[in-house]
């Protein structure tokens, strides 16, 4: 039965827990919508008391930025890398950990690696054949994004410490490079209280001037390349942004997150008084409006959101009750959403969403706590169904992807035993070529 569209409300990623993997092993996965608002025949979204949009959009506030400070880096020239993936370590006796990647085309890209002293930024300009690196001491980069071959940003956390089995940090920071990642300088920083290192931070470069950043529990925007970063007020009450999609037109963008006074930054799932929510802008982030927030999104986790133009887009959410990931689509810019399909969302776990055309989209599958390997899920019918491309015998764990066409793209692969690495495909995910950033 065809699902009815969600009606627009005018009223008021991460890793799944190991306990869920154990629960799934015992009980197995059952196909179940798990979402009252998305069930066929009852798809009208009722007003949620957790989310209350302002009567009219208001420009975001503009706090003064922190003074910029140069950050010493250690540029190192690269040498040819082999096509195999050898075990690699950070020099601290621990496996190589890649936290983020950003490519501007299939040949040129960057990846951030965590080190004992901070982070290394690795760069390739020849499709992974050779690499160079620059070290950023003191900052653990969690997200990186380049707008061009010369200009990019990284966001992460500093002043971190171990406490009761957690890595807690007291500073959020954004740094910028204007020479292709060879050198970095501080643009923005903020003291915070005990933020978990592994909460997601992300960079969304629209141009050399317009950039968005998720830093800790909030989102910032710059319109001058980072000379001034402004905190965004989405005017839906307390809101934690988690995923986003921005068009290159510099005007349209959508942010998927959780809204409500019950939302906690350290939790990716919606709980009591916390609702999955989509907000959007059509003026480059100056103003925002509420697009979608189901009345019942308890135990729902955001996975990803992707738009290919101002009208057509998709989002994915994971129900922790059913362990099913639901794909919803819109053809009117987010005013109405229709449930398109469900797929297994745990073991392996759905970790993102990117569409490259009206028909073709990709989802990275993470192994999580295992033992089931991950890989890639592909839709060729606009999200109505997905085909899992998990290669038997491969313990792949796809944590992030970036495609440039229906055939060509890169993925970041997590491997806690041998060290993380990157892979590229030129045939839509049927075959892969591995690349380990190394000198």
Query: What pLDDT score does 93 carry?
Result: 54
Given a cut of 70, whether residue 42 has pLDDT beyond it is no
Residue-wise pLDDT for 330-389, tens only, equals 999 999 999 999 999 988 999 999 999 999 999 999 998 767 889 999 999 999 999 999
Percent of the chain with pLDDT over 70: 78
**Mean confidence (pLDDT) of the chain:** 84
Given a cut of 60, whether residue 233 has pLDDT beyond it is yes
Is the sign of the CA dihedral 247, 250, 254, 258 positive or negative?
A: positive
Cis preceding-peptide flag for 348 (omega within 30 of 0)? yes
Look at 88-97, 261-270, 273-282, 410-419 and tell me which has the smallest mean pLDDT: 88-97
The residue that leads in pLDDT, 250 or 294, is: 250
pTM above 0.85, yes or no: no
Strands (E) across 9-131 are located at 70-71, 97-103, 109-114, 118-124
Percent of the chain with pLDDT over 90: 69
Grade residue 416 by pLDDT with cuts at 50, 70 and 90. confident
Q: Are 352 and 304 in contact (CB under 8 A)?
A: yes
DSSP assignment of 184-196 equals EEEEEEEEEEEEE
Query: What pLDDT score does 282 carry?
Result: 98
Grade residue 267 by pLDDT with cuts at 50, 70 and 90. confident
Query: What pLDDT score does 372 carry?
Result: 81
Query: For 354-421, what is the HEC assignment?
Result: EECCCCCEEEEEECCCCCCCCEEEEECCCCCCCEEECCCCCCCCEEEEEECCCCCEEEEECCCCCCCE
């Amino acid at each position: 039965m065809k699902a009815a569209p969600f009606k627009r409300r005018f009223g008021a990623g991460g890793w799944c827990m190991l306990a869920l993997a154990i629960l799934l092993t015992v009980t197995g996965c059952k196909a179940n919508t798990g979402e009252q608002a998305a069930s066929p025949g009852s798809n009208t979204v009722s007003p949620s008391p957790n989310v209350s949009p302002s009567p009219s959009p208001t420009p975001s506030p503009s706090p003064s930025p922190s003074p910029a400070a140069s950050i010493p880096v250690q540029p190192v020239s690269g040498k040819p890398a082999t096509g195999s993936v050898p075990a690699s370590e950070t020099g601290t006796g621990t496996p190589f950990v890649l936290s983020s990647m950003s490519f501007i085309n299939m040949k040129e890209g960057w990846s951030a690696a965590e080190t004992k002293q901070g982070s290394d930024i690795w760069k390739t300009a020849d499709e992974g054949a050779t690499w160079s690196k620059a070290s950023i001491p003191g900052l653990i980069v969690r997200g990186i994004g380049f707008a061009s071959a010369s200009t990019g940003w990284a966001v992460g956390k500093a002043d971190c410490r171990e406490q009761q089995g957690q890595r807690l940090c007291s500073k959020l920071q954004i740094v910028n490079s204007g020479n292709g990642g060879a050198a970095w300088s501080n643009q923005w920083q903020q003291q915070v209280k005990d933020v978990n290192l592994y909460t997601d931070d992300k960079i969304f470069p629209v141009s050399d001037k317009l950039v968005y950043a998720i830093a800790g529990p909030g989102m910032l925007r710059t319109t001058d390349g980072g000379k001034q970063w402004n905190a965004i007020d989405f005017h839906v009450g307390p809101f934690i942004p988690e995923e986003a999609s921005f068009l290159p037109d510099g005007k349209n963008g959508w942010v998927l997150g959780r809204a409500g006074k019950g939302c906690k930054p350290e939790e990716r799932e919606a709980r009591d008084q916390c609702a999955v929510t989509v907000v959007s802008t059509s003026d480059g982030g100056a103003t925002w409006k509420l697009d979608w927030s189901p009345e019942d999104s308890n135990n729902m986790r955001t996975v990803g959101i992707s738009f290919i133009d101002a009208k057509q887009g998709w989002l994915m959410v994971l129900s922790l009750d059913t362990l099913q990931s639901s794909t919803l689509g819109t053809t009117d810019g987010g005013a109405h959403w229709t449930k398109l399909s469900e797929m297994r969302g745990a073991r392996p776990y759905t970790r993102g969403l990117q569409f490259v055309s009206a028909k073709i989209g990709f989802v990275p599958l993470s192994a999580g706590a295992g033992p089931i390997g991950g890989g890639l899920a592909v839709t060729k019918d606009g999200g109505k169904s997905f085909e899992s491309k998990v290669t038997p015998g491969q313990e792949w764990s796809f944590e992030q992807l970036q495609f440039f066409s229906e055939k060509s793209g890169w993925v970041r692969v997590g491997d806690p035993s041998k060290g993380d690495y990157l892979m590229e495909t030129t045939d839509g995910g049927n075959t892969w070529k591995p690349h380990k950033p190394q000198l």
